[in-house]
Structure 1
Amino acid sequence: MQRYCLALDLKEDPELIAQYEAYHRAVWPEILASIREAGILDMQIYRTGNRLFMIMEVSATFDGAAKAAADATNPKVVEWEQLMDTFQQRLPWAAPNQKWVPMEQIFALNS
């Protein structure tokens, strides 16, 4: 199993942040299925202010490029991502077209 930690910001608007959280309390079943089918075993999103932190634990067979390609051809995932995009803003150091930015581990107690 491998762990990925990623960050993204939301637009600095309490109403939009509340709406974003509401969508994530009732994620569409097609989105959950696409996550699981890709080999993502667990996914958690945390928020402080407008900064989001995602932890993904994935199987040994997980392929991020394959997940991105499958998402691009899945109409429900495309619809979800377009909807989520209305709430999100890129981190200043994100690459063009990059939403979630991988975080670098700088400390581990048990390593």
Structure 2
Amino acid sequence: MTHPRTPHSVSKRVVALHTKLKPGKEAEYEAVHAVIPPELDAALREAGVHTWRIWRNGLDLFHVLEVDDYAAMRAALRDHSANVPWQARMAELLAVEDDYSGDDTGIGLVWELPVKE
């Protein structure tokens, strides 16, 4: 699903993800995300991320991000000096570690209310 930013700009893609926390890590996960490191913020933006939101329901985390190219973003962040320690920290909190080796494309879109023009 692609949404134009403005009539004259390149497209960005909306990607939805689902991850799970380890039991008992809910408060710690939220505390860690209260303020992300500035160098990680910069790396995400440089990799084409426009927004990234995370919702939590119990141990389930639902992410929605707007990014220029999701696969390119993952490739850019895989070995990035700001992302490697962040992912190590997330591995302590998440039930399944993201090692960036898979062909992750996010959750498939089932339905969308169309934009009315």
TM-score normalised by the shorter chain: which range applies? 0.7 to 0.9
Between structures 1 and 2, the one with greater helix share: 1
Q: Distance in 1 between matches of 2:31 and 2:105?
A: 23
RMSD: 2.5
Q: CA deviation at 1:64?
A: 3.2
Higher gyration radius (CA): 2
Whether the 8 Å CA contact 2:40–2:82 is kept in 1: the answer is: yes
* Sequence identity percentage: 31
* Cross-structure match for 1:23: 32
1:39-78 mapped onto 2 (5 Å cutoff): 39-58=48-67, 62-78=68-84
Moved over 4 A (4+): none
**CA distances 1:13-55 after superposition (whole Å, capped 9, x unpaired):** 1xx2101101111101111111100111111011001100110
Q: Which has the higher contact order (CA 8 A, sep 6+)?
A: 1
In structure 2, stretches of 5+ residues that fail to align are 1-11
Aligned to 2:82, the other structure's residue is in SS state helix
In structure 1, stretches of 5+ residues that fail to align are none
